[in-house]
């Protein structure tokens, strides 16, 4: 089973950032290091997930087919990120009820351009929640405290630069601590009614810490 690692997302004043690395692991083997894991659905929404990549692709295909069917109607109505999130939630819960669960934890972000920035998450049994910051995989344990601290220190109103800085710090920490992570990542930015995904970026790291460096043996 090819699986993806942590995904993190945080709101800032005017949008939402979501980040994930480009690694797919086969068990504990870091097999595919150049797989983009963030997908844009429609015009205003992006989806990413930790867990089984095949299940993630299947669910995204269902969402894309729904969007294509809506466009054929040509009534000028488009699903908002919150509405797509609701469709995703019902899809995941339906799979769980049929004992065919999608073994993923999904994170959804979006922006309609009307000061309605959205961020939410759904796990593999259909539990959903929304917050100013969410994370999946190991990031739910490592990154969430850093994201919440940053939001609290700035009264839940980060600038984009501040949000980008804390997201980058979280990705660096995950690379140091998570067994199935690499320092190559992408960031999706949902703002002003659209979503833009960055090109894969290499994260600068430093391994010359006492806890990481191997000290020479002295008799």
pLDDT averaged over every residue in the chain? 92
Express each pLDDT in 105-128 by its tens digit.
Answer: 999 999 998 778 999 999 999 999
Instruction: Assess whether pLDDT exceeds 70 at residue 48.
Output: yes
Query: Model-level pTM?
Result: 0.90
Distance CA 29, CA 144 (A): 26
Smallest Cα–Cα separation from 131: which of 151, 114, 146? 151
Beta-sheet pairing, 184-191 with 194-197: antiparallel
- Rounded mean pLDDT of 49-54? 96
Dig out the tokens for 100 from the structure.
């065919």
- Rounded mean pLDDT of 61-85? 91
Express each pLDDT in 9-30 by its tens digit.
Answer: 999 999 999 999 999 999 889 9
Q: Which helix (H) or strand (E) holds 172?
A: helix 160-177
Distance CA 115, CA 111 (A): 8
CA 121 to chain centre: 9
Helices and strands, number each (H, E), in the chain: 4, 14
Distance CA 196, CA 24 (A): 22
Distance CA 77, CA 42 (A): 12
Instruction: Assess whether pLDDT exceeds 80 at residue 208.
Output: no
Dig out the tokens for 117 from the structure.
């920035």
Dig out the tokens for 41 from the structure.
């659905």
Percent of the chain with pLDDT over 70: 96
């Amino acid at each position: 089973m090819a699986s993806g690692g942590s995904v993190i997302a945080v709101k800032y004043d005017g949008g939402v950032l979501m980040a994930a690395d480009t690694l797919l692991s086969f068990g504990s083997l870091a097999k595919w290091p150049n797989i983009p894991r963030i997908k844009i659905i429609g015009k205003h929404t992006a989806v990413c997930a930790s867990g089984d990549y095949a299940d993630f692709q299947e669910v995204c295909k269902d969402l894309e087919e729904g969007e294509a069917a809506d466009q054929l109607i040509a009534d000028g109505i488009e699903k908002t990120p919150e509405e797509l999130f609701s469709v995703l939630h019902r899809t995941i819960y339906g799979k769980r009820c049929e004992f065919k669960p999608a073994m993923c934890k999904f994170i959804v972000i979006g922006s309609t351009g009307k000061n309605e920035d959205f961020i939410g998450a759904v796990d593999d049994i259909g539990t959903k929640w929304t917050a100013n910051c969410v994370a999946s995989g190991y990031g739910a344990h490592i990154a969430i405290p850093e994201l919440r601290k940053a939001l609290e220190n700035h009264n839940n109103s980060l600038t984009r630069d501040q949000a980008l800085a804390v997201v980058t710090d979280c990705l660096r920490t995950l690379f140091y601590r998570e067994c199935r992570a690499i320092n190559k990542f992408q960031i999706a930015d949902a703002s002003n009614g659209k979503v833009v995904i960055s090109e894969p970026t290499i994260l600068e790291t430093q391994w010359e810490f006492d806890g990481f460096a191997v000290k020479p043996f002295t008799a």
